Amino acid sequence: MSNSLPYDAIVALGSNIGDTRANMARALDLLCESGEVRVVARSRDFKTPPWGITDQPWFANACAGVATRLDARTLLARCLAVEQRLGRVRAQKWGPRIIDLDVLAHRDGAVDEPDLVLPHPRITERAFVLAPLADIAPDLILDGRSVADWLAATDTTGVEAFADSAVVHD
C-alpha cells in the first residue's frame, strides 16, 4: 500500500439485510470502540446490485481508511469479531449478510496466506468495491494501475452513491 496515504489500512463494508447503512455505521463504531482503530477517511455509501448470487436484495457498500497500529491479521480478526457481534451468519458464499467487513489493503504490504491475501485479490474486478474505494484512495496502485483507472474500466451499471451520502476525512 502506498506510504503517501494518510491511513494504515483500508476496510470495505457491505450489507444487504435490515437497515444496511445503519449496519455499516454500527460496524465502524464497533471496530473503533477499543481505540485501537480510528476512521480517518470514509467514502460515500453506495447502492450496488448483488454480485455472485444475484437473487437477493441490493447492497449498501462503503470503504474506510483507518489509522491503527494493529497488524493486518489482528485487524482482520477484529473485523470478523465485529461481524459476529452484529449477527453475521456465513450460510452461503456471496449470499445475503447483515454485515461484511474486508481488509482490502494494509501498511504491512502484500500478504499471501490461505486465509488472508492483501491487497484483496478481487478488488479490481468489483465495481461495488472500486466505487467507494475511489472516494478515499483514487491514486492507490493495484496491479500497476490506479483505483481510478480500474474504476473507469469497470462496468458500474447500477452502482450509485446515496444522494445524502458524503465523503468524510478526519
CA distances from 59 to 68, 92, 160, 168 (A): 27, 16, 11, 20
Q: Is 135 a catalytic residue?
A: no
| Cα–Cα distance for residue pair 5/151, rounded to 1 Å | 19
Helix (H, G, I), strand (E, B) or coil at 8: coil
The catalytic position among 44, 78, 88, 126 is 88
The catalytic position among 8, 45, 100, 135 is 100
Q: Is 102 a catalytic residue?
A: yes
Nearest by Cα to 21 from 165, 133, 167, 170: 165
The catalytic position among 42, 97, 126, 135 is 97
**Residues in Cβ contact with 6 at an 8 Å cutoff, skipping those fewer than 6 apart:** 40, 41, 65, 67, 169
Q: Is 29 a catalytic residue?
A: no
Q: Is 100 a catalytic residue?
A: yes
| Cα–Cα distance for residue pair 104/161, rounded to 1 Å | 20
The catalytic position among 102, 107, 145, 149 is 102
Q: Among all chains, which residue has been given the C-alpha cell 499471501?
A: 112
Q: Which residues are the active-site residues?
A: 88, 97, 100, 102
